[in-house]
Amino acid sequence: MTNPRGPQRGDEFDADLGGAQPVPGPRSHEDESIAASDDPELRRSFQSLDADESGRLSYVQEGTELEQGAVYVDLDDLERGPFKAIGGRRAESGDRYVAKRDTDYELWNRLVGDREPEVERPQDSR
């Protein structure tokens, strides 16, 4: 055996072995969201949601960047249906965008049904 202790710091392969960074996964808007239960106007608009459901529903705060390709729905425009965000889009004042990945399956389906998301186009963004 030439090296019974294994590779040591400074070995020629150290950078190859230790330099790998984890691949980032989908991110959550948990720290950038407002619970529907904390919004009195929204609670009045969605009286069909019980206390448990409004506690599980949240929307992104003003200024939050929407993740490119992620699916959202605007609580103030449910008729539009879900959409996939384009890069550089941010929630503006008065927007109530719910991220699909931050919403449980049952509640999401209650909001949008089985409609497929439309791909947002630059002319669609504000």
In the chain, the number of structural domains is 1
Answer whether residue 16 is part of any domain: no
Answer whether residue 15 is part of any domain: no
Answer whether residue 24 is part of any domain: no
pLDDT in tens, 91-105: 999 899 999 999 999
Q: Which residue has the higher pLDDT, 40 or 24?
A: 40
Answer whether residue 34 is part of any domain: yes
Answer whether residue 3 is part of any domain: no
Q: Which domain holds residue 50?
A: 29-124
Answer whether residue 45 is part of any domain: yes
**pTM score, two decimals?**
0.73
Instruction: Tell me if 54 sits within 8 A of 37, measured CB to CB.
Output: yes
Answer whether residue 21 is part of any domain: no
Answer whether residue 9 is part of any domain: no
Tokens of 74: 């605007």
Q: What is the pLDDT of residue 26?
A: 59
Distances (CA, A) of 97 to 30, 62, 81, 113: 13, 10, 11, 16
